[in-house]
Structure 1
Amino acid sequence: MKSLFDSETHTEILNRIDNLSESSQREWGKMEVGQMLRHCQFPLKVALGKHTIKKPNFFMRLLYKGFKKSMYNDKLWKRNLPTAPGFKVEDKKDFKEEKDKLVALINDFHEERTKKTRDPHPAFGELTYDQWGQMQYKHLDHHLRQFGV
C-alpha cells in the first residue's frame, strides 16, 4: 500500500489534484468537486491534530474495529460508501479555495513524515506510522478516482 509519507506518492497525489478542475464530474456519489476537496481535508486535519471528532460510543467502537484494517490495506474501497457524519459536506464550496487548503494540508502531513508517533485516532485507536500514511493515501486515492484522476 502506498503511503502519503513517501515522496513519490506525495508528488503523485499533488499531480492528480492538479488535474482536477471546477468542471470535473464525479463518477459516483453525491459530492461536487469542491465539496470533495473540503471533505478530504478532515482526515488530514485529524492526523495533524487540527480537528477533533467525538469519540464513538461502545457500539460504534466495535463497528470501527471491524473495518479498521480496510482503512490501510491494498483493497480498494467500494463506491458510495457512507460518509462519517462529521465529515459530510453538503453546502457548495469554492473549488480554488478548497484545492489550495487541501494541498497545504497534504504538504503539512508529508512534512511530518519524520514524526514516528501520533496520538491515537479518535475512532480507530492506535495506528502505526505506516498505517497513518497509508490511510491518508487511501482516502485521497478513493476520492480522486471518484473524479476520474
Structure 2
Amino acid sequence: MKSVFDESTRTELTGRINLLTENSSAQWGKMNVYQMLKHCTMWDEWVTGTDTKKYPRAFLGRIVGRMALKSITKDETPIQRNAVSLAAFIIKETNGDIDTEKKKWITLIASYAHFSNPGFVHTFFGKMTTEQIGYFAYKHADHHLRQFNV
C-alpha cells in the first residue's frame, strides 16, 4: 500500500501536484483548485505538526473512528467522493496564489521524509500509528488530486 513515507510515493505526488493549473476543474465536490490546494496544505500542516492547533475529537469518531480508520487503511481503495471534512479545513476564500499553494504543499509532502509527529490525534479516527498516518496521508492527497483529474 502506498505511503507518504516512501520516497517514490512522494515523488509521484509531487509530479501530480505540478500538473495542476489555474484552469484545473473539479470532477466532483464544491472546491476550486485554489481551495483544494489550500485545504491540502492546511491538512498536511496539521498532520505533520507544523500547525499546532488542537481540534476537538468528534463524538461519532469516538464511537466508530477506530473501525472506520481500519477500513480505510486496509487496502488500496481510494477515499470515496464527497467525503466529509473538518469544518476548519473548508476554505471559504475562492481566489489565491495557486503557485504559492502548490509550492507549500510540495514542501509539506517532502517533509514526510523526516516525519516527527507520532502523537498525532485525528479528530475522527483518534490516535493513529505512524504507518496509518503514512497510508492515510497518501490517500488524502490522492483523493484530492483525483478530484482534479491528476
Aligned partner of 1:3 in structure 2 is: 3
Q: 1:90 and 2:92 equivalent?
A: yes
Q: What letter is aligned with 1:97?
A: T
CA distance in 1, matches of 2:66, 2:42: 20
CA distance in 2, matches of 1:99, 1:2: 21
SS of 2:121 mapped into structure 1: coil
Of 51-60 and 127-136, the range deviating more from structure 2: 51-60
Unaligned stretches of 5+ residues in structure 1: none
Instruction: State the 1:37 CA deviation.
Output: 0.6
Are the aligned partners of 1:4 and 1:137 in contact in 2 as well (CA < 8 Å)? Answer: yes
Instruction: State the 1:58 CA deviation.
Output: 3.9
Q: 1:101 and 2:143 equivalent?
A: no
**TM-score, normalization by structure 2:** 0.86
Instruction: State the 1:126 CA deviation.
Output: 2.6
Instruction: State the 1:57 CA deviation.
Output: 4.8
Q: What letter is aligned with 2:5?
A: F
CA distance in 1, matches of 2:61, 2:18: 36
Instruction: State the 1:50 CA deviation.
Output: 2.0
Instruction: State the 1:66 CA deviation.
Output: 3.9
Report 1:132-143 matches (<5 A). Answer: 132-143=133-144
CA deviations 1:85-135 (Å, max 9, x no partner) are: 1111121232111111111111112233xx5x7114142333222111111
SS of 1:40 mapped into structure 2: helix
Q: What letter is aligned with 1:145?
A: R
Decide whether aligned partners of structure 1 residues 65 and 6 sit closer, same or farther in structure 2, where only a CA change above 3 A counts: same
Are the aligned partners of 2:34 and 2:97 in contact in 1 as well (CA < 8 Å)? Answer: yes
CA RMSD of superposed structures (Å): 1.8
Number of aligned residues: 146
**TM-score, normalization by structure 1:** 0.87
CA distance in 2, matches of 1:50, 1:8: 23
